[in-house]
């Protein structure tokens, strides 16, 4: 039996290159699965639609390796690949996306692609958002302890406790299964609270969380008060002395214990977020089973340890509901988060030493065994030609930690990113290949030039 190898191919590249050309490339590298999205995309006029590759809150210098409609970056417009069954959405506050002329012209391509991939023996998954309906409403947007919406969020996800979002998910899954009944399963992204930015890490104290938490025995008001105090402390009360231990080779082990002693409700807050994430996945599993039976798979994407402590994703608990979990090896994001978080801490605590902030965050995120960085720009978002500044050791360690958490209760299919120079991509891919992970997903096809496809084939053949 082949070891699992999945590649995410969004519909824009299927339209751009053609079904057979894409599937030929997947077969060449030994892929056993493909994930796509129920969206069709074509080139748009400059300034219209959305820009690809995504900007990652203005930080990303990415370019595609494979030309999309002849270009390495461009503006695109999109539409659902099918005509939604609006009757299914009657009991939710959200409407499905509207079909348009793109749906009529190109929508059939996704159905054709799914059927062709299945005919070639590939598993086929739909990659969708875990908790983000179209036109997210303000009431369903996660909040900070002070009631404000986090500043400049990189991921526009919704509240995991929102009944409206849960009911939308139910309608959306049924809708997709009516149109694409033969898919292998779903890959929900962000079934957690993303923490790219420091403010995002302090989600969620929105209106839906309080009743959800209190009905399950959490002391919500106490948690909210103490987390709010900690947020205030980080935005004006942080000192170099506070960071000295975190920046040292000890990595703040003693300080973490001292922090929880000073703010004991923070641990309850982390437990609350984990409970929310796990319950959302339980709901996803229930929705899929009700709509199509237990044979359809649930394969969730998740932030990698230790970032999942802030997002709420609990690998051990999630393994009870998921057929597979894909911890993200998005090493360019691990790196830029030092800059994202560090810039906020330096702005609000003007006496802080940049080197201490940089090393403390790199240790907190476990980006190396011996952090020698002296400034935030030692991390940041790597250019397309630059290697990702994360050494092998923490990547190897993180895989082992996740595998230990799930204890073979589910499959771990590490999710790595194709972005970056070929040599560095090969280094990162080799780490997964040499690991005990059950398999790997590679996101996304657009960053996999022919040289990278050859690299995947050669490494995976040995793995």
The secondary structure of 156-194 as a DSSP string is ----TT-HHHHHHHHHHHHHHHHH-TT--EEEEE-SS--
- pLDDT tens for 399-428 read 999 999 999 999 999 999 999 999 999 999
Enter the pTM of the model.
0.95
Q: Is residue 429 part of a domain?
A: yes
Distance, in Å, from the CA atom of 213 to the CA atom of 221, rounded to the nearest integer, reads 10
CATH number of the domain that 440 lies in? 3.20.20.80
Q: Is residue 52 part of a domain?
A: yes
Sequence-separated (6 or more) residues with CB below 8 Å from residue 243: 352, 353, 356, 357, 360
Distance, in Å, from the CA atom of 401 to the CA atom of 393, rounded to the nearest integer, reads 12
- pLDDT tens for 30-80 read 999 999 999 999 999 999 988 999 887 677 788 999 999 999 999 999 999
Termini Cα distance of the chain: 13
Q: Is residue 365 part of a domain?
A: no
CA–chain centroid gap for 23, Å, is 25
- pLDDT tens for 104-160 read 999 999 999 999 999 999 999 999 999 999 899 999 999 999 999 998 899 999 999
Burial 62-82 (b: 16+ CB within 10 A, else e): bbbbbbbeeeeebebebbbbb
Q: Give the closest residue to 326 by CA, choosing from 460, 442, 425.
A: 442
Q: Is residue 45 part of a domain?
A: yes
Structural domain count, the chain: 1
Please determine, for residue 264, whether its predicted confidence score (pLDDT) is greater than 90. no
Residue 186, domain extent: 4-330+391-462
Q: Mean pLDDT for the chain?
A: 95
Please determine, for residue 381, whether its predicted confidence score (pLDDT) is greater than 90. yes
pLDDT at 65: 95
Q: Is residue 128 part of a domain?
A: yes
Q: What is the DSSP letter of 201?
A: G
**Beta-strand relationship, 185-189 and 123-129:** parallel
3-state secondary structure of 124: strand
Tally of CB atoms within 10 A around 210: 16
Q: Is residue 366 part of a domain?
A: no
Q: Is residue 303 part of a domain?
A: yes
Place of tokens 């899929």: 288
Q: Is residue 364 part of a domain?
A: no
What is the arithmetic mean of pLDDT over 241-270?
A: 84
Please determine, for residue 170, whether its predicted confidence score (pLDDT) is greater than 80. yes
High-pLDDT (> 90) share of the chain, %: 89
Q: How confident is the model at residue 230 (pLDDT cuts 50, 70, 90)?
A: very high
How much of the chain is helix, strand and coil, in % rounded to 5? 45, 15, 40
Sequence-separated (6 or more) residues with CB below 8 Å from residue 183: 114, 124, 125, 126, 176, 177, 296
**Using CB atoms within 10 A of its CB, is residue 407 exposed (0-12), middle (13-18) or buried (19+)?**
exposed
What is the arithmetic mean of pLDDT over 189-203?
A: 96
């Amino acid at each position: 039996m082949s070891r699992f190898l999945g590649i995410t191919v969004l519909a824009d590249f299927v339209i751009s290159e053609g079904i057979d050309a894409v599937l030929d490339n997947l077969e060449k590298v030994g892929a056993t699965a493909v994930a796509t999205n129920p969206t069709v995309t074509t080139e748009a006029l400059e300034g219209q639609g959305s820009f690809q590759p995504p900007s990652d809150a203005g930080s990303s210098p990415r370019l595609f390796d494979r030309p999309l409609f002849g270009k390495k970056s461009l503006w695109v417009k999109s539409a659902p690949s099918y005509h939604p069954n609006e009757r299914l959405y009657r009991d939710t506050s959200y409407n499905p996306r509207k079909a348009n002329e793109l749906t009529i012209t190109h929508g059939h391509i996704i159905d054709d692609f799914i059927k062709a991939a299945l005919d070639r023996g590939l598993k086929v998954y739909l990659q969708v958002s875990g908790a983000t309906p179209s036109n997210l409403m303000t009431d369903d947007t996660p909040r900070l302890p002070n009631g404000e919406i986090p500043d400049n969020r990189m991921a526009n996800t919704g509240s995991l406790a929102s009944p409206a979002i849960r009911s939308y998910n139910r309608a959306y899954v049924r809708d997709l299964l009516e149109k694409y009944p033969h898919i292998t399963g779903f890959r929900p992204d962000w079934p957690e609270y993303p923490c790219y930015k420091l403010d995002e890490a302090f989600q969620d104290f929105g209106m839906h969380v309080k009743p959800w938490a209190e009905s399950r025995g959490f002391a919500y008001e106490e948690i909210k008060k103490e987390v709010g105090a900690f947020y205030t402390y980080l935005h004006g009360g942080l000192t170099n002395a506070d960071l000295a231990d975190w920046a040292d080779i000890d990595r703040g082990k003693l300080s973490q214990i001292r922090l929880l002693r000073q703010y004991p409700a923070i641990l309850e807050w982390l437990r609350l977020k984990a409970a929310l994430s796990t319950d959302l996945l339980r709901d996803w599993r229930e929705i899929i089973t009700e709509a199509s039976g237990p044979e359809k798979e649930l394969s969730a994407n998740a932030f990698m340890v230790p970032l999942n402590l802030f997002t709420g994703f609990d690998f051990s608990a999630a393994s009870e509901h998921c057929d597979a979990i894909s911890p993200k090896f998005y090493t360019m994001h691990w790196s830029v988060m030092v800059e994202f978080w560090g810039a906020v801490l330096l702005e609000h605590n003007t006496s802080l030493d940049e080197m201490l902030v940089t090393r403390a965050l790199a240790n907190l995120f476990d980006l190396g065994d011996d952090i020698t960085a002296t400034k935030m720009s030692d991390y940041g978002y790597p250019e397309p030609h630059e290697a990702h500044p994360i050494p092998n050791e923490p990547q190897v360690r993180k895989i082992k930690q996740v595998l230990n958490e799930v204890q073979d209760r589910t499959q771990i299919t590490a999710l790595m990113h194709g972005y970056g120079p070929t040599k560095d991509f090969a280094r990162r891919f080799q780490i997964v290949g040499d690991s005990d992970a059950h398999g790997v997903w590679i996101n996304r096809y657009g960053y996999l030039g022919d040289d990278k496809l050859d690299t995947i084939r050669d490494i995976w053949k040995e793995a």
